[in-house]
């Protein structure tokens, strides 16, 4: 019994430290471990952009959309918006076709105009080959896409070179491509010597150099007619991330902080009431084991809240729901254990022996039940939308923690205090419902 008492004491101290950590970090406004709240709780702005994939080959659209997501995410992060969420989706349009969309959630930003400004005007960079065509008596220059766009850009730097006419130092923007972009750029220049390779920014040509020879190494130079300030701004914007495909703002909506605070209060109140009812039932029906289960649940909640803070998990209303449901899973496991223990007590086993056997007999049911819940949660997270993913993530973490709480903590606490035999008051304490064991 002594080793269980030592383990129980360590578990109690750990639980107290977890509770203190959760309280202290939340009470300190400057703590980096305060709860990170999602858009529905903290308030903020949601921007929905439509991605124009008309010039992107079908086989490359998935990669282009992923690249677009990464670029916009970096751009938002540079402006210091707390816990932004950038995600992509395919939605059905009124015409019956599908649209690729980018959804940007900005918690804490309730001014839509400020949110759009924070995202900024990220440039769309692309290289096009000039082709001369004749229609009737009219000769036109058409610029055909080459597939080389800002998605292949790794960095941009500011340089200065001699001007073509004045000879004076003129600002230049030097582009550096990634390995795939370098190969594509070399292939384009090698196969099109003597042709113009125009550089388009946001759909407008800013430079139209003639390819003199194949250019290896993945570096290109823009020598457009702009000032040093304009060149510096262009370098900055390109380094923020050149969009691989054009996007346009389709819709925007704001969630006020008042609505968010109401959702938080409702979620917290639901959690407290639910926990209180469960604890009262467990204590009233299972007596001492019920009190032990309630203590284990308190430690479980402290552990879960600490994990949510440290990872950190962005809490949403659906995430709070997942946490509350996982409490029910922890209670369910304890009920299985206590019912098996009660059966052993009725057969005349000693209290400690009944506890050992009860945990052993309930193990397979608890294991299988938690495993199926974890599988369900993983599938929900894998296939669900952002709202479902928030629920699934917290739910899976909660199921894992409740498994440890029910199988380990409850067992350690019970074996630390339960005697070998069920005599006197112990007979009542180890009983359940309206019957004694």
CA–CA separation, 375 vs 384, rounded Å? 14
**Residues 116 and 129 placed together within one structural domain of the fold:** no
**Residues 10 and 144 placed together within one structural domain of the fold:** no
Instruction: Compute mean pLDDT per 10 residues along the chain, 437 residues long, and list them.
Output: 87 95 92 84 85 82 81 69 74 71 82 72 79 81 88 85 61 88 92 89 78 87 77 73 78 75 81 87 89 90 91 82 81 86 85 88 89 91 76 87 84 86 73 61
In a domain, 434, yes or no: no
Residue 110, CB-side half-sphere exposure with 13 Å CA sphere: 11
CB of 273 closer than 8 Å to CB of 374: no
**Residues 166 and 207 placed together within one structural domain of the fold:** yes
pLDDT, tens digit, for every residue of 191-200? 999 899 888 8
In a domain, 154, yes or no: yes
In a domain, 372, yes or no: yes
CA–CA separation, 250 vs 48, rounded Å? 6
**Residues 230 and 266 placed together within one structural domain of the fold:** no
Task: Report how far Cα 426 is from the mean position of its chain's Cα atoms.
Answer: 49
**Residues 306 and 386 placed together within one structural domain of the fold:** yes
pTM over 0.85: no
168: its two tokens: 């004076």
Helix, strand or coil for residue 396?
helix
State which residues form the domain around 83: 44-120
26: its two tokens: 């939340």
What per-residue confidence (pLDDT) applies to 19?
A: 95
DSSP one-letter string for 268-313: HHHHHHHHHHHHHHHHHHHSHHHHHHHHHHHHHHHHHHHHHHHTT-
281: its two tokens: 């039932």
| All residues at 6 or more sequence positions from 405 whose CB lies less than 8 Å from its CB, including other chains | 296, 297, 299, 300, 303, 330, 333
- The domain that holds 417 is classified in CATH as 1.20.1640.10
CB of 319 closer than 8 Å to CB of 355: no
**Residues 154 and 284 placed together within one structural domain of the fold:** no
CA–CA separation, 375 vs 358, rounded Å? 26
CB of 34 closer than 8 Å to CB of 26: yes
**Residues 10 and 60 placed together within one structural domain of the fold:** no
In a domain, 437, yes or no: no
**Residues 113 and 180 placed together within one structural domain of the fold:** no
Of 120, 145, 178, the residue at which a domain comes to its end is 120
- The domain that holds 157 is classified in CATH as 3.30.1360.200
Task: Report how far Cα 170 is from the mean position of its chain's Cα atoms.
Answer: 44
What per-residue confidence (pLDDT) applies to 206?
A: 77
In this structure, is the dihedral angle defined by the CA atoms of residues 16, 17, 20 and 25, taken in order, positive or negative? Answer: negative
**Residues 134 and 149 placed together within one structural domain of the fold:** yes
CA–CA separation, 180 vs 150, rounded Å? 12
Question: Domain total for the chain?
Answer: 3
Beta strands in 4-67 (DSSP E): 36-37, 44-51
**Residues 140 and 213 placed together within one structural domain of the fold:** yes
In a domain, 188, yes or no: yes
**Residues 266 and 329 placed together within one structural domain of the fold:** yes
CA–CA separation, 121 vs 100, rounded Å? 19
- The domain that holds 112 is classified in CATH as 3.30.70.3220
In a domain, 435, yes or no: no
What per-residue confidence (pLDDT) applies to 93?
A: 64
Of 66, 93, 120, the residue at which a domain comes to its end is 120
| All residues at 6 or more sequence positions from 1 whose CB lies less than 8 Å from its CB, including other chains | 352, 415, 416
**Residues 346 and 243 placed together within one structural domain of the fold:** no
In a domain, 106, yes or no: yes
CB of 219 closer than 8 Å to CB of 195: no
Of 193, 215, 247, the residue at which a domain comes to its end is 247
In a domain, 436, yes or no: no
In this structure, is the dihedral angle defined by the CA atoms of residues 279, 282, 284 and 290, taken in order, positive or negative? Answer: negative
């Amino acid at each position: 019994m002594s080793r269980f008492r030592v383990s129980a004491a360590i578990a109690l101290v750990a639980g107290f430290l977890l509770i203190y950590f959760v309280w202290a970090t939340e009470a300190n406004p400057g703590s980096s471990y305060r709860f990170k709240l999602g858009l529905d709780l903290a308030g903020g702005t949601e921007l929905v952009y439509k991605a124009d994939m008309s010039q992107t080959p079908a086989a490359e659209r998935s990669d282009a959309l992923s690249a677009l997501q990464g670029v916009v995410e970096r751009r938002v992060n540079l402006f210091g918006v707390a816990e932004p969420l950038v995600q992509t989706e395919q939605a059905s349009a009124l015409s019956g076709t599908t649209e690729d969309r980018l959804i940007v959630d900005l918690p804490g930003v309730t001014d839509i105009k400020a949110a759009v400004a924070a995202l900024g005007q990220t440039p769309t960079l692309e290289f096009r080959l000039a082709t001369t065509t004749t229609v009737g008596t009219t000769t036109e220059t058409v610029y055909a896409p080459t597939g080389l766009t800002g998605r292949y850009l790794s960095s941009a730097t500011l340089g200065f070179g001699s001007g073509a006419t004045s000879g004076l130092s003129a600002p230049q923007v030097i582009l550096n491509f990634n390995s795939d972009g370098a190969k594509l750029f070399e292939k384009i220049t090698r196969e099109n010597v003597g042709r113009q390779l125009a550089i388009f920014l946001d759909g407008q040509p800013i430079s139209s150099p003639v390819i003199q020879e194949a250019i290896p190494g993945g570096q290109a130079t823009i020598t457009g007619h702009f000032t040093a300030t304009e060149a510096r701004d262009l370098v900055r914007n390109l380094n923020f991330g050149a969009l691989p495909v054009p996007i346009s703002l389709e819709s925007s909506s704001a969630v006020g902080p008042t609505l968010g605070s109401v959702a938080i209060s409702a979620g917290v109140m639901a959690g407290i009431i639910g926990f209180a009812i469960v604890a009262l039932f467990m204590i009233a029906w299972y007596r001492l084991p019920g009190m032990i289960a309630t203590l284990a649940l308190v430690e479980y909640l402290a552990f879960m809240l600490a994990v949510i803070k440290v990872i950190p998990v962005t809490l949403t209303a659906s995430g709070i729901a997942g946490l509350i449901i996982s409490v029910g899973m922890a209670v369910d496991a304890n009920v299985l254990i206590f019912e098996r223990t009660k059966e052993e007590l009725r057969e005349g086993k000693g209290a400690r022996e009944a506890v050992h056997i009860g945990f052993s007999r309930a193990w397979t049911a608890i294991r299988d039940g938690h495993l199926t819940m974890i599988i369900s949660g993983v599938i929900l997270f894998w296939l669900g939308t952002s709202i479902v993913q928030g629920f699934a993530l917290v739910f899976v973490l909660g199921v894992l923690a409740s498994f440890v709480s029910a199988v380990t903590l409850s067992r350690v606490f019970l074996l630390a205090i339960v005697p070998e035999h069920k005599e006197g008051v112990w007979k009542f304490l180890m009983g359940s419902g309206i019957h004694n064991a």
